[in-house]
Chain A
Amino acid sequence: MPIKTDAVGKTWPASTYQVGREKIKEYANALGIENPVHFDVEAARAEGFRDVVAPPMFAVVYALPAMAPAILDPEVGINFATMVHGGQVFEWGEVACSGDDITTTPVCVSIEEKDGKGFYVFESTSVNQDGEQVLHAVWTNIVRGV
């Protein structure tokens, strides 16, 4: 059965995530990141940040809530049990700091079949409360045995 490609070009509603100090701390701890700018507001301000600043890969925390409805959408048709994360691209703009409201919008850009595997590619753009772009991302999920 050929792979379903109806969802190519589909967008999903934007989702807004409010960045918080404790969540940044939790993420930095899980990754073993120790720079005090991720833990202490005074240290962050001394380095020129408006508040405790997120490590770049904190992008997954604020972008995932927007991506989940796209990846789980039955119209996309991903079989979760045999899905693996194939590749990821992040491009960062303005940093994310505690107190920011970051709004992420996903789009499905391609669905292709190659060697019996399905390649599902999504892109997302995230902007902060001032309209500054903080992230552009490309998410590639591979499904075995489509």
Chain B
Amino acid sequence: MSELNVGDAVPELRVTPDKYLPHRYAGASGDFNPIHIDPEFAKMVGLPNNILHGLYSMGLVARANAALSGGDPRALKRLSVQFRGMGAPEQEIVVTGTVKSVDGNRVTVDTIAAQGDNQIIRNAEAELEL
């Protein structure tokens, strides 16, 4: 049985990606889409600047949820997200979550990743086996 209850908060995760994080994430992930690493290209296609990889922000959501299991990589069974607002480097990302359901050792968590008022990931639903 999980010790979590519906309505419990996931430990808040705060990360400020530095200017070159998108480059390191591009190297780590293999996603070199220039909108993430080239401000001039990003502006040319109508974006305000180079933007964070959505899958990087999703990785932070996964990391925040993994904290419920002490970081055990076996715990996260499913993660579903929608990318909406664009994430920017050099701005703090705050990941928050609330337990939505508990069924035995299976826990569902609603998670949001935001930079200020800008929700860069919303409707994120994580299913964990704890």
Interface segment out of the listed B1-9, B77-85, B96-104, B106-114: B77-85
Interface size on A, as a range, is 35 or more
Any chain B CB within 8 A of the CB of A26?
Answer: yes
CA distance A85 to B55 in the complex (A): 9
Any chain B CB within 8 A of the CB of A82?
Answer: yes
Q: Closest chain B residue to A136 by CB distance?
A: B78
Main secondary structure of the interface of B (DSSP, over half): mixed
| Structural contact, A33 and B63, CB atoms closer than 8 A | yes
Q: How many residues of B contact A (CB 8 A)?
A: 35
Any chain B CB within 8 A of the CB of A46?
Answer: no
Among A27, A34, A87, point to the contact of B29 (Cβ < 8 A). A27
Give A56-100 as 1s and 0s: 1 = Cβ < 8 Å from B's Cβ atoms.
110011001100000000000000111011111111100100000
Residues of A within 8 A of B (CB): 23, 26-27, 29-35, 37-38, 47, 53-57, 60-61, 64-65, 80-82, 84-92, 95
Can you list 30 A-B contacts with CB-CB less than 8 angstroms, sorted by A residue number? A23-B28, A27-B28, A29-B28, A30-B21, A33-B66, A35-B70, A35-B71, A37-B71, A37-B73, A55-B59, A55-B73, A56-B66, A56-B73, A56-B76, A56-B79, A57-B62, A60-B55, A64-B31, A82-B45, A85-B54, A85-B55, A85-B83, A87-B81, A88-B79, A88-B80, A88-B81, A89-B78, A89-B79, A90-B78, A92-B77
The 9 A-B pairs with the shortest beta carbon distances in the complex, nearest first, are A35-B71, A30-B28, A85-B54, A57-B59, A89-B80, A27-B28, A56-B76, A87-B82, A57-B62
